[in-house]
Every structure is written in C-alpha cells, then in structure tokens.
Chain A
Amino acid sequence: MDNGIRISADAMTVKMQQHEITAQNTANIDTDYYKSKDLFFVDMDDGAPQTVETTDFSSGPVRNTGNPLDVTLGKNYFLKAEDGSGSAYYIKDGRLSMNSSGELTFQGMKILNTSGTSIKINSLSGFKITKNGSCMENNEVVGKLDIVQAGASARIVPQDNGAFKIDDDGVAAPAGYSLITQGMREGSNVNRVNEMIKMVNTLNSYEANQKLIQANDDAVEKAIAEFGKF
C-alpha cells in the first residue's frame, strides 16, 4: 500500500509538471515564433511514467507584416548568429533588427552570412531577401544568409535570449533551400484546443490519483485500526 501511495504521488507530481508546461504554452499563446512544449511519457514498469520535455518545432501560422526585417524560415531551419564574444547561436525567431552600423541583428547578436561575417545594409527601403536567403540592396547582392537545418538527432537547447544552441555536428546547410519569406511573421504554434484538452485531462488524472492516495490511506488506517485489534 505504501508502494501504491508512492506511485500515485509520483503520478500527481508528473501531472503537475504537465500542467506547468500547459501554463507556459498558454502564457505564450500569442508570442510570435514561440514553439510549444510537451511532456513525452515513457512507461515504467514499477511506477509513474518517466518524463522528457520536448519542443515542437513546427511553424506557427504566418501573417503578412510588411516589415522588411521580419522573416519566416520553415520548420527545422535556423539562422546562424554570433554574440559579442563570438559564440554561435541559432535563431528561429524571425523578428530581426538592425544595429547602428547597419548590421542585421537579433537581440544584439549579429546574423551571419555564408562567409561567417555580418550582413550590412545602408537603408531598409531597398532591402530585399530572396527565397534562398540572398540579401539584396537595390538589386545588388550584399550577402547570403547562413541558413542551417538541424539533424534528426541534434541536441537543440533553448537559451535565455530566445535563440538556441545546437551541437556542431547537428547542423548542416540544406541544399536547394528556398523557403525564407521576408515581410511575414510566424505566430505561436500553440494549439488552443489541445492545451485546453490537456488541461482537463491533467486535472481529471490529478483528481483520480488523489482519490487513490486517499483510498490507500484509508486502507492503511483500517489495517492499523482493525487488524491490530486485540
């Protein structure tokens, strides 16, 4: 019976973890480029399921903004950037900016071209990005965005600044890529209905496990009170 209580308690903890993820997804239901998280359950023979947190990298719904610094990349594709100290980061969030030197940036990190340097433009009015990532200013090529694809077993770790780190042998430059779209933004890929359903299921499951703990507790109490009677 103690084992029963432990299993139910573990299950409740796991359900609370699932709920935290639902809360995080719901809090970011309107955050552009947000990738929804989920809990992946692995059945264990002797207890509550083990959990692994996963990120869903599918694209959110795209919309036209007309902002030349907005881009969408397509599922599993990232831009490459580097911060002030030269560390490499991978960007999925296409809300780009410019710094005062005219370089393309994201959250202060410089977006890199295929030669590994930053992309510099003089003015936004003539700035165009073609479908394969070439950057043009007034019809002259000024650089090509370094767009990479994460391998199937790549370890993609989200960072605090909204970018990702991917272990080096997990990325490759895709051949024949032509999915980048300028002037459009991706919304959050959180599915409202799914999150609501998950939340209802989590609550029911939580309650069911709570009742089980109470039942086990009652059984133990009975065992102490009745069987121990002299």
Chain B
Amino acid sequence: MAAEEQKLDLIANNMANMNTVGYKFQDAFVQEMSQVDDDGKNVQINPAGSYVASTSRNFTQGAIASTGNSLDVAINGDGFFEVTLPDDTTGYTRGGQFSVDANGSLVTKDGNKVYPDVTVPPDTTSITINTSGQISALKNDGTTQVLGSFELAKFINPGGLTDEGGGIFKPNANSGDPVVDAPGNQGIGTLQQGYTEGSNVDLSTEMLKMMLTQRSYEMNTKVLQTTDQMMSLANGIKR
C-alpha cells in the first residue's frame, strides 16, 4: 500500500504540472520486494510486497505552442539549454521562457543566467533568435548586432540525469557527459522563437493510472483485513 501511495503522489504531481512549460512527467519503477534463499536444491522465497525502486523522468517531446513572446524559445528535438545556477555550477533545462534582467543578462524564468552569457544592450528594439540558436538584436539606430548563440547539451541517457527540481537537471555517471553544440548539429534539436514547449503529461493516462492505483490500494486493504481475521481466528483457538 505504501508503494501505491507513492505512485499516487507522482501522479498528483504530474497532473498539477500539466500546464508547466518544459515539464517532463515522472513515472514510478515498481518492483516486487522479496528475499530469496537458494541452497541449490530448495528455493525459499520470503515475500515482502512491492516497493518503488526508483522514479524516472520521461523525456519525450512536449507539444510546441505559439506564444508570440519573442523571448520564449522551444526546443524541437533532443537537447537542453545550459544555465548557470546560483552556486556557479551548470544546470540543464528544457524550460525556454527567457527575459532580460536588470543587468541586461538573458535569464530564465527562475533568474538563472543563460550559459554562455548573453548581454542585451539597452538600446535594443527587438531580438531575433534563429533555429540554429544565433541571437541578434535590432538596435534603435537600425543596425543589427549579433549578441551570441545558444548552445544545447545532449546526453546519451537523459533518463539518468539528476533531478534538481524546478526543471533543472544535472549530469552524473548514469546520464553520460553533456555533448554541447549548436542546435541542429550532432542530432541536437533546433530552436523555435516565439514558442514554448508544453508539458508532456497526458491527462487521460494519468487519470487511468490514478484509478488503477486506487483500486489496487483498495484490494490490498481487503487482504490486510483478511489477515487480521485469520489472526483473530488463530487467537480464538484457545477460549
């Protein structure tokens, strides 16, 4: 039952983040729990129910929707934006809702600076980001200045990334090292300005998972009640 409760938590979180830009849904990897004794002839299995062995993020592409906001950028395909976190380490995210902070730096929704640094001059009228990540500013005087370029990072096993929360991920031994390149190179996805990537949560799947989890929880309580009745009967042998 504890496993079913944990699954419900994940489902609830997925449903709560149905509309969060760049959200990737989580799944529970449930395994049977048991301890096996094998002496070569007889196998003794000591059952212990089930447990959530691990949780994983599903990194399939979310639907891309137009926002008309020039600093919204969606990744079409594989890859993550690189950002500099408050502790100066590099984080990776799919969330492409950018803005310009008080210092003119291009930052994410949480205020993390885009890596490599991009500074937007104060006399900028509009910003253009092409599919290969190049960022250029149209200035007041009609001239165009290239401000820099987005680099995206690809991982051989994105499912293995460490989940830092808030849509930020960090590499580790399981995910492999980041392969960094311009969008469109080495199988990395391209960028679309003025669009955001929606969450990849499928509401009907989550609802179905929720119903099944609840029914299973219910069935396990019946088993628990029966065990209780049996123990009561055993106790009742001696009156």
Contact = CB atoms under 8 A, between A and B. Distances in A.
* B7, B227, B229 interface centre (most CB from chain A within 10 Å): B227
A29 B36 contact: no
Contact of B35 (A15, A27, A160, A195): A160
B201 to A, nearest CB: 14
Given A27-B3, A210-B236, A100 B36 contact: no
Interface in B218-239: 219-220, 222-223, 226-227, 229-230, 233-234, 236-237, 239
Contacts of B187: 123, 125
B176 interface: yes
B16 interface: no
A123 B156 contact: yes
A23 B224 CA distance: 8
Contacts of B159: 97-98
Interface residues of A, number: 49
Interface of B is mostly: mixed
Contact of B227 (A23, A95, A159): A23
Contacts of A31: 30-32, 50
B213 interface: yes
Contacts of A210: 233-234, 236-237
A30 B30 contact: yes
Contacts of B78: 123, 125
* B4, B30, B159 interface centre (most CB from chain A within 10 Å): B30
A20 interface: yes
B185 interface: no
A157 B43 contact: yes
B157 interface: yes
Interface in B1-56: 1, 3-4, 7, 29-32, 34-36, 38, 43, 45, 47-50
A21 B191 CA distance: 53
Contact of B58 (A19, A27, A67): A67
B42 to A, nearest CB: 10
A53 to B, nearest CB: 6
Contacts, number: 124
B212 interface: yes
B80 to A, nearest CB: 14
Contacts of A102: 156-157, 176
Nearest to A16: B230
Contact of A160 (B36, B177, B212): B36
A28 interface: yes
B49 A23 contact: yes
A1 to B, nearest CB: 15
Nearest to B176: A100
Contacts of A115: none
* A30, A99, A203 interface centre (most CB from chain B within 10 Å): A30
Nearest to A156: B43
A23 B47 contact: yes
A122 interface: yes
18 contacts: A19-B227, A22-B223, A23-B227, A24-B49, A27-B3, A28-B30, A30-B213, A31-B31, A37-B45, A97-B157, A98-B159, A100-B156, A100-B177, A123-B78, A202-B226, A203-B226, A203-B229, A206-B230
10 tightest A-B CB contacts, nearest first: A24-B47, A100-B176, A27-B49, A98-B157, A210-B233, A28-B50, A31-B30, A27-B50, A26-B223, A30-B216
Given A23-B227, A37-B47, A203-B230, 12 more contacts: A21-B47, A30-B4, A30-B30, A98-B157, A98-B159, A100-B157, A157-B38, A159-B36, A192-B219, A199-B226, A203-B226, A213-B237
